Amino acid sequence: MIADLQCVVLDCPDPGQLAEFYQSLLGGAVNQQDRRWALDEDWATLHSPSGLVLAFQRVADYRPPRWPDPDRPQQFHLDFGVPDLDRAHEKVLALGATVLDADADGRGWCVYADPAGHPFCLVRH
**79-99 per-position pLDDT tens digit:** 999 999 999 999 999 999 999
Residue 35 lies in a domain: yes
SS3 helix, strand, coil % of the chain, rounded to 5?
A: 20, 35, 45
Single pTM value for the model? 0.82
- Judged by average pLDDT, the poorest of 21-25, 74-78, 87-91 is 74-78
Total Cβ atoms within 10 A of residue 13: 14
CATH of the domain at 88: 3.10.180.10
**pLDDT band per the 50, 70, 90 thresholds, residue 68:** confident
Residue 102 lies in a domain: yes
What's the pLDDT at 57? 95
Number of domains in the chain: 1
Residue 39 lies in a domain: yes
Query: Which residue segment(s) compose the domain that 31 sits in?
Result: 4-65+75-124
Residue 99 lies in a domain: yes
